[in-house]
A and B are shown apart, each in its own frame.
Chain A
């Protein structure tokens, strides 16, 4: 596998919630790609769920990007959580206490239920030019 295809990122929305499915190796080399995607898609202000089922490798480079994402979400008053972490991902999150900053849910449904209701939920997804304050 070539370096550029080691990380797969797939973004979808459920209502106004941004869901990013991360696949492959999240290490120092590939983590900036996730950071860029978070900046582009999460910065406008949705709640974010990262689905980490298909992560095959995670190091401190990846952990730092998750921390930064959680920090940025908190500044915006939004929720940033993990769903369906692979066992290895959960283990590392616990060791470095990332699970105290980024809650991890066993299923995507559990994660969705954890999110607070937003004014634009659930039917009219993202309001055109909706106010953020």
Chain B
């Protein structure tokens, strides 16, 4: 049975942790294997951390929205922020970059089946990170 939900959260580290665990729980509910669940949790955790650090400069009060949907085979996750651009590119690096040059994005790309960056996302601001992974 397909389902979809969205949550709003702030960029406070405690909330980022809750959000990544929520995605892990959703993937588990959808019947994903443990290794797929941990891939998803790390990818989403890294995307949340990127948004907090790059879009909001590490501040606790940046607004984030996380959408999670399951269509019966794939989990689709979209993370929206309203801050500074997380990265200039529309895609994640396909080769491992040097430290400090987007290794987190590269890691997300390796853990997910598809990753797309949309920016600006909202009226000239923000970034949306679209992530997709087959669960079964």
Known A67-B99, A87-B35: A59·B46 in contact at CB below 8 Å: yes
Interface size, chain B (Cβ < 8 Å): 20
User: Inside 8 A of B14's CB, which chain A residues have their CB?
Assistant: 3
Contact yes or no, A96 B103, CB < 8 A:
yes
Query: Are A57 and B49 in touch, CB under 8 angstroms?
Result: no
Q: Is the CB of A97 within 8 A of B35?
A: no
Taking CB atoms and an 8 Å cut-off, the chain A residues in 39-67 that contact chain B are 57-61, 63-64, 67
B64 interface residue (CB < 8 Å to A): no
Partner of A60, one of B17, B41, B104, B111: B104
Binary interface profile of A, 94-116, with partner B (CB < 8 Å = 1, else 0)? 01110000000000000000000
Q: Which chain A residues border B96 with CB–CB below 8 Å?
A: 95-97
Main secondary structure of the interface of A (DSSP, over half): helix
Q: Is the interface of B mostly helix, strand, loop or mixed?
A: helix
- For A94, the closest partner residue in chain B by CB is B110
Cα of A96 to Cα of B106 in the assembled complex, Å? 8
The tally of CB-CB contacts under 8 A between chains A and B is 49
B58 to A, closest residue via Cβ: A28
Residues of B within 8 A of A27 (CB): 17, 45, 49
A29: CB under 8 A from chain B?
yes
Top 10 A-B pairs, shortest CB-CB distance: A88-B38, A95-B110, A60-B104, A29-B13, A59-B45, A59-B46, A95-B107, A97-B96, A96-B103, A28-B49
Interchain residue pairs with CB less than 8 A apart (16)? A3-B13, A3-B14, A29-B13, A57-B20, A57-B38, A59-B45, A59-B104, A60-B49, A60-B103, A61-B49, A64-B99, A67-B99, A88-B39, A91-B39, A96-B103, A96-B107
- Since A96-B96, A97-B96 are in contact, a sample of 9 more A-B pairs with Cβ atoms closer than 8 Å, ordered by chain A residue number, is A3-B13, A27-B49, A28-B13, A57-B42, A59-B45, A87-B35, A88-B38, A95-B111, A96-B106
